[in-house]
């Protein structure tokens, strides 16, 4: 088990006017107001003010398993471009719920992901430990065996839509994700087929997507708005490594998770661990895959049991240093150039899932 160490999480918002469309959000700082990380960790937590570099420390109880930890919650300011939201006639902030009929219809969609429940005693440990496929299959074994691995119409949850980048990888690699819940937390597993080629070299903290990383998108109430509501529409980026050769982990040293400026404030009860080449064996001689294990408090995502929510998983692949070479999406449509990258601006592009009892 990883020893709990000091964790550094930097929340750097994106001024949309400064973003280059198609490259992903340039996580930039507002000219005024303080911006702090929203943090959960089992280690002593340093909260760094990105405007002044001042540091304060909180000491939650140590709990490397993430089963019961104390959260340090810090408010984050937003830039003027994104701090306004529309109000509907009921006074609901920006993310008005759909009618019961439309929610029921969404649950019956053939492409929806029906995420099964488990009990807390059998929930996955967020530790990045090795996992394998069931012999002769592409299905996960071990603690992830009973997770959702396909849609309601039996389509595998493959992250195989090449949004842009290296065409030679299409069909040669298999990225995929899985999920389960215990009515308290959402558990996500992302499996990245990268042949052990890992880069964390750009040093641009405002552009974490340039290096190997994943992007997780959540629309907690399935409002399907065409812009982020700042309430329950989330966009987070988790790098594969915290530094060269060091697996990123919320229980580790200098771990980083970043939210875009458009995103609602990330949940305070959020843990993750990466396993470098701890995933199942890849095709051919590519070696073992990488895994990202993530656990997020459902109430902070504003997800309700048996009600649909939006979700999207994307992978940034950097194979030679510098910026990313290829981007993959689960629900996002395939494309050929970097203009084909919409979810970070438009949450309605997400797919759908529902937690079943």
pTM of the model: 0.74
Q: Is 65 exposed, middle or buried (0-12, 13-18, 19+ CB in 10 A)?
A: middle
In a domain, 253, yes or no: yes
Q: Are 30 and 36 in contact (CB under 8 A)?
A: no
In a domain, 233, yes or no: yes
In a domain, 128, yes or no: yes
pLDDT of residue 51: 26
Q: Are 24 and 338 in contact (CB under 8 A)?
A: no
Number of domains in the chain: 1
* Domain around 259: 99-357
In a domain, 166, yes or no: yes
Residue (of 310, 289, 323, 320) closest to 176 by Cα position: 289
CATH number at residue 120: 2.60.40.1190
In a domain, 9, yes or no: no
d(CA 206, CA 209): 9
Question: How many other CB atoms are found less than 10 A from the CB of residue 62?
Answer: 14
DSSP string, 119-168: -GGGSPPSS-----BPTTSSSB-GGGTTSB-B-TT--B-B--EEEES-GG
In a domain, 20, yes or no: no
Q: Are 331 and 351 in contact (CB under 8 A)?
A: yes
pLDDT of residue 157: 98
pLDDT of residue 48: 28
d(CA 193, CA 258): 23
Q: Are 294 and 269 in contact (CB under 8 A)?
A: no
In a domain, 338, yes or no: yes
In a domain, 184, yes or no: yes
pLDDT of residue 171: 85
pLDDT per residue rounded down to tens, the chain (357 residues): 444 333 333 333 333 333 333 445 544 333 322 222 333 333 322 222 222 223 232 233 333 333 333 232 222 323 222 333 333 333 333 334 444 555 655 666 879 999 999 999 999 999 999 999 999 999 999 999 999 999 999 999 999 999 999 998 888 899 999 999 999 999 999 999 987 788 888 878 888 999 999 999 999 999 999 999 999 999 999 999 998 999 999 998 788 899 999 999 999 999 999 999 999 998 776 789 999 999 999 999 999 999 999 999 999 999 888 889 999 999 999 999 999 999 999 999 999 999 999
């Amino acid at each position: 088990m990883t020893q709990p160490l000091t964790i550094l999480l930097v929340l750097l918002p994106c001024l949309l006017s400064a973003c280059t469309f198609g490259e992903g959000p340039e996580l930039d700082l507002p000219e005024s107001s303080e911006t702090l990380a929203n943090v959960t960790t089992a280690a002593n937590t340093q909260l760094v003010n990105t405007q002044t570099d001042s540091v304060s420390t909180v000491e939650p109880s140590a709990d490397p398993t993430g089963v019961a930890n104390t959260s340090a919650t810090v408010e984050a300011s937003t830039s003027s471009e994104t701090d306004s939201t529309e109000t509907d006639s009921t006074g609901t902030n920006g993310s008005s719920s759909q009618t019961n009929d439309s929610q029921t219809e969404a649950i019956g969609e053939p492409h929806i992901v029906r995420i099964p429940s488990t009990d807390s005693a059998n929930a996955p440990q967020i530790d990045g430990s090795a996992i394998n496929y069931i012999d002769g299959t592409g299905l996960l074994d071990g603690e992830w065996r009973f997770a959702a691995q396909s849609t309601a119409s039996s389509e595998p949850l493959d992250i195989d839509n090449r949004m842009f980048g290296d065409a030679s990888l299409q069909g040669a690699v298999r990225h995929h994700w899985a999920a389960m819940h215990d009515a308290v937390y959402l558990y996500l597993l992302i499996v990245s087929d990268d042949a052990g080629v890992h880069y964390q070299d750009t040093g641009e903290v405002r552009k974490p997507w340039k290096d190997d990383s994943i992007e997780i998108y959540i629309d907690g109430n399935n409002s399907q708005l065409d812009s982020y509501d700042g309430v329950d529409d989330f966009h987070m980026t988790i790098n594969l490594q915290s530094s060269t050769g060091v697996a990123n982990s919320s229980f580790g040293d200098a771990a980083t998770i970043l939210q875009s400026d458009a995103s609602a404030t990330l949940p305070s009860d959020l843990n993750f661990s990466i396993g470098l080449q701890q995933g199942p064996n890849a095709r051919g001689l590519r070696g073992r895959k990488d895994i990202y294990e993530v656990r997020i408090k459902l109430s902070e995502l504003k997800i309700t049991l048996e009600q649909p929510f939006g979700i999207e998983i994307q992978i940034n692949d950097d194979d030679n240093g510098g910026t990313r070479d290829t981007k993959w999406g689960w629900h996002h449509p395939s494309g050929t150039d970097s203009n084909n990258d919409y979810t970070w601006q438009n949450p309605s592009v997400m797919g759908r899932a529902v937690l079943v009892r």
